[in-house]
Chain A
Amino acid sequence: MTFKVTEENGTLTGVMDGRLDTAAAPQFAEDLKIMMDNADKHLVLDMEKLSFISSSGLRLLLSLRKETMAKNGDITIINVLPEVKQVFTITGFYSLFQFK
């Protein structure tokens, strides 16, 4: 999975592309650092091209969510595919994030 981050008007948008499985999780943890460092801002995760997510990926997103709560930032998830969205629903993670 690739993760490209751009910043515009104080909002950081990260585009997730590919499969976020256990094998991809360590690299994503590295790539997420820029978002962790900016967890006091508006963060957007674009999941249009995210074809797969497992619990390894969810754990990293939970860490980011906790960081934004600690620093008074926020995260919005956009363009999520139905298959990925249901993983958030099943695990109760859906209510922890804002979806658009």
Chain B
Amino acid sequence: MLRELTLHNDVKQIELLTEFIEVLCEELGLDAMLTFNLNLVLEEAVTNVIMYAYPQDEDHTMTLKTWTEQSDNIIVFELKDQGKPFNPIEEAPEVDTTLSADERQIGGLGIFLINKIMDDVTYRYEEGSNILTMKKNIKA
């Protein structure tokens, strides 16, 4: 079961992403909390590409592929863009959740949420593409 979605680097495209994830989660029979969290993770990943991978005034696309592994126990999302090389795992600012409101910084929250919610997040740069792969056990 391989599904694919192509999105432009425009925040208005988030609506298409939401619909794609909702349909996917419904077909997999996932509960409300997991559906919410997968929506959140994908929105954060796609937003990062929209905001940082390409110049804001140029039209570009990214591709999201998703499939399941190990008898539907693991869901995999692979987000690929041809923007500037960026390793979000290493280069995103660190987030300290114990700080007070005054000390909290606004950066890095998206990647932080992706890492917290997903079980396995890897990045590679291959033939001119950023490829972010995110896996989650959906039967645990």
A interface residues with partner B (beta carbon < 8 Å): 19, 21-23, 52, 54-56, 58-59, 62-63, 65-66, 69, 82-83, 86-87, 90-92, 96
Contact = CB atoms under 8 A, between A and B. Distances in A.
Interface residues of B, number: 31
28 contacts: A19-B18, A21-B14, A21-B18, A22-B11, A22-B43, A22-B50, A52-B36, A52-B39, A54-B44, A54-B47, A54-B113, A55-B109, A55-B110, A55-B113, A58-B109, A65-B101, A66-B102, A69-B101, A83-B33, A87-B40, A90-B97, A90-B113, A90-B116, A91-B97, A91-B112, A91-B113, A92-B104, A96-B101
B113 A87 contact: yes
A56 to B, nearest CB: 7
Nearest to A53: B40
Chain B contact residues: helix, strand, loop or mixed: helix
Which 10 interchain pairs have the tightest Cβ spacing? A92-B97, A55-B109, A83-B36, A23-B11, A96-B101, A22-B47, A55-B110, A59-B106, A23-B14, A65-B101
A45 to B, nearest CB: 15
Interface of B: 11-12, 14-15, 18, 32-33, 36-37, 39-40, 43-44, 47, 50, 95-102, 104, 106, 109-110, 112-113, 116-117
A41 B137 CA distance: 45
Given A55-B47, A66-B102, A96-B100, 15 more contacts: A22-B43, A54-B44, A54-B47, A54-B113, A55-B44, A55-B113, A62-B106, A65-B101, A82-B33, A87-B40, A87-B113, A91-B97, A91-B113, A92-B99, A96-B104
